[in-house]
A and B are shown apart, each in its own frame.
Chain A
Amino acid sequence: SAVISQKPSRDICQRGTSLTIQCQVDSQVTMMFWYRQQPGQSLTLIATANQGSEATYESGFVIDKFPISRPNLTFSTLTVSNMSPEDSSIYLCSVSRAYEQYFGPGTRLTVT
C-alpha cells in the first residue's frame, strides 16, 4: 500500500494569488499524478510527474497555470497560479503501485 498526505487540507484564497499544494508519499514511487475534482464532478487528470523531468500535462492544462515540482521520489508540489473562482476544486495527488492506484485525501480550494 501507499500512505499519502497532502498539505494544506483546505484553503480559501483571494483571486489573483497562488497556492502551492504539497504531496508526500511514505515510500519511493516513480510517477505521481495530480487530479482536479470540480464541485459535483468526477476526477480529471491534470498532469503526471516523474522525478527529475518535466511534468506531462493533459489537454486543457498548462505549466504556467499549474507548475509542478518533483524534487525526489517521495514528494511533489502543485501550484495553482493566478487563481480565479473557476479554480475552486479539490486537488488530489496519486501514485501507482503494482495494480492499484492510491490517492491522497485531497486539498479543498476555494477562491473568492
Chain B
Amino acid sequence: DAKTTQPPSMDCAEGRAANLPCNHSTISGNEYVYWYRQIHSQGPQYIIHGLKNNETNEMASLIITEDRKSSTLILPHATLRDTAVYYCIVRPLNSNSGYALNFGKGTSLLVTP
C-alpha cells in the first residue's frame, strides 16, 4: 500500500472547520483514500473514503486533488467530541476483501472551546 504523510498535530476552534491534510504521492490507480479516527480509549472509526471525486457524508467531506497525490478531510463544524487522532490510509477497495489497514502515525486533532 502507498505511504501517507500527515502533520502530527493540529488545533481547531470549536465551531470552525477543521481541515486535515494528507500526502499520498505514490498512490496507485486502484487505491482509495480512507480516513479513520480514533477517539481516546476507543477502537478506530470509519469516516469516509474516496477514489478521485470529492465525497461528502454526514460526518465529513473529502477533497482529493486532481493528480490524487494529496487529499484533505474537512470537518465542517468541529466540536469538542471531534478531538481524536485522524488516520489517512490508502488501500485497494475490495468488498469482502479482508485487506487489513496499514495505519501511519496520524494527526492528533485538538478541538478547543
Contact = CB atoms under 8 A, between A and B. Distances in A.
A75 B10 CA distance: 38
A4 B44 CA distance: 12
B100 A44 contact: no
B102 interface: yes
B103 A96 contact: no
A100 interface: yes
Question: Among B41, B44, B49, B103, which residue has the most Cβ atoms of chain A within 10 A?
Answer: B44
Contacts of A97: 96
A103 B37 CA distance: 11
B77 interface: no
A59 interface: no
Given A48-B100, A96-B99, A98-B95, A42 B106 contact: yes
Given A101-B46, A105-B43, A42 B105 contact: yes
Contacts of B32: 99
B104 interface: yes
A1 to B, nearest CB: 9
Interface string B82-113: 00010100000101111111111110000000
Interface of A: 4, 30-31, 33, 35, 42-45, 48, 50, 92, 94, 96-106, 108
Interface of B: 32, 36, 41-46, 49, 85, 87, 93, 95-106
16 contacts: A30-B96, A42-B87, A48-B100, A94-B43, A96-B96, A96-B98, A97-B96, A99-B93, A100-B46, A101-B44, A103-B43, A103-B45, A105-B42, A106-B41, A106-B42, A106-B43
